[in-house]
Chains A and B, each alone.
Chain A
Amino acid sequence: MQPRRYLAALLPVVLSSLALIAAPMAAAGKASDAVHETTLDNGLKVLVLPDERAPVVTHQIWYKVGSVDEPGGITGIAHMFEHMMFKGTENLGPGEFSDIIARLGGEENAFTGRDFTGYYQTLSADELETVMRWEADRMANLEIDPEEFAREKEVVKEEWRSRVRDNPNARLNQLLYATAFTSSGYHHPVIGWKTDIDAYTVEDLQRWYREHYAPNNATLIVVGDVEPEAVVELAERHYGTIERRDLPPAKPREEMEQHGLKRANLSIPAKLPHVTMGYKVPSLVTAEESRTAYALAVVSGILAGDSGARLNNDLVRAGKLSAASAGYNLNARETTLFTVDATPRDGQSLDEVERLLRDQIERLKSEPVGTDELERIKAQVVASDVYERDSLFYQGMKLGMYETVGLDYRLADRFVEGVRAVTIEDVQAVAREYFQDDGLTIATLQPTSSDESTDLPSPTGGIERVH
């Protein structure tokens, strides 16, 4: 996901929730009992979760649209559009909503992912109505000023430069997805291809707004020191007046079947080589049985759930690799990737890295995992279920991530249960079914410059001083 602004405090929360799937996806045990659910007449679903620990509230609106919905030629428009949501409406000037929030001491931001676009404010519970009024305003009354747009496009290009162009691992990750996915909207990156960013027009943005920003395509989530009934009343007052609209149905864009291993290589100036492997797997949305998705989540925990998990313990700690990790997004809307990636030790070949990672995959298929390995993951999931209630934002985010991809928010609660029901046999079965070359893509980063090259300076070398 691409948060709009540089906000150090937010990033760890957001990123870890995607990266560390096994633990943080755990649900708050009794949370969904406490969630108050309503759907307004215009189709806006409202979820309210009271949390009275402090006189604070987080107000989040999640639109069921992300980069996955973008057709070719305007990739990244979901993200560009998200930036424009801060640039004024018929009633407020550019940046004015942000100024209002700032004067109230609120925090705000927005985020765009493959499957969703979200906006949020966290502030004193007394001021919920203020942010609701203006959030509803930009759902219905956004104005896209050509000059503001031209400037903001430059901002997004700068964002692309710092997140992608000048970040070798991000480029490798883009290559992995672009190679693995052919017909699916996961082919292109969330921030879009640079040539598409260059070519957006005001009309592209207006169409995006018209086709996706409607109350019946959104979920409102409020977590904090609030009374659910009062929140619903406010939602009726501010969002309830916006009319439901018929939106063009999403094209299926199902990923076509892969027949055989795909490989891609990236040769750019960088310091560290890297190998990343992705197997096509179902998510909780696309799996025929939810058990499959829970078992895959457990597999990611077995490989990389903590420092004692297999990749770190058996490969890194054993001195065979420099770093290694695995990831799986249970909440993807479409067929997704189960990834395994690693950094070689100094001088080690990428072939050897691949062999070591593949040995781990084979091991999952050929030997049953230990009871202790399974038990420790279950304990971690149970505990995370409590820990994550410490964050107001995360509690809301979890509800949003489930609802937005079409899963009932109550499923968030079943995560713990689902993981606890996973057996040794389930783990072996999903490994055998999905970890096959037919669905595998391997992308490698081969730096064009060696360590000693002058292309990349050591902290003391290559410096020109001007006094």
Chain B
Amino acid sequence: MKLSETKVDQIGVQERVARLQSRSIKADSKKEALTLALSMIDLTTLEGRDSPNKVRQLCYKATHLHESFPGLPHVAAICVYAPMIRTAKEALQGSTVKVAAVATAFPSGMTSLETKLDEVKQAAQDGADEIDMVISRGRFLSGDFDYVAEEINRVKEACGSAHLKVILETGELVTLDNVRTASDIAMAAGADFIKTSTGKIQPAATPEVTLVMMQAIKDFYHKNGRKVGLKPAGGISKSKQAIQYLVMLRETLGQDWLNPDLFRFGASSLANDILMQVVKQNTGIYQSASYFSLD
């Protein structure tokens, strides 16, 4: 594969982001955005110390965000390490909350393709609805785009019917030109979603990176007619940020993308901040954080 020809101007992207962030979202449009954002969350726990009970608690939270406030949506998915898939599937039985599993030697991706494929196949077999893979950043930065594309392609095959999210780990790609190139490679190789980050590298999701990925998705859609989803992940913990991402989404990809099938937030603490805002919007009072469950 040859280098992407699409250029990105960093200053221009920063200015566009600043302008989008100056949108003022009030009243009902704010309530709608908060509810929408809740329904787009991939509630995430990706720690070495994760246990089945911790995952079960998270799954209960996924469908019972704030019991004292009826009518709220559930989150889009639970995002866990592969060994937790069966536990999560069981806990979420009967709901439409998806189970997403990170795979391919997450977060570094430093293992052989064969090992990665085995891991992905096992995850699919265990019932993961979605698989979040990482690209080989070292290969990408050394210019071996063919390898990166081939790897994604093979993982996509191994996913079977599971949806594939491709994590670019933009914090390691550094430039927006690289982000654009990696996005183009991932989509062409079959990604259902492209995702900014593992959350393990700083910076994780930034509005600038996300905007560039949105523009890549838009161009890909115009060229190929396929709608690829987007998942900014890591560092989005406040309602205000979430609303700014939705503004960017609405004005870049349009209403078609404003749903959990095509847009997700990878986050762990975002849900509670949104819940706090939802309650405030409806009662006029900020509740203390103690009123929101920490699962």
Do chains A and B interact in one complex? no
Q: Which residues of B contact A (CB under 8 A)?
A: none
Q: Which residues of A contact B (CB under 8 A)?
A: none
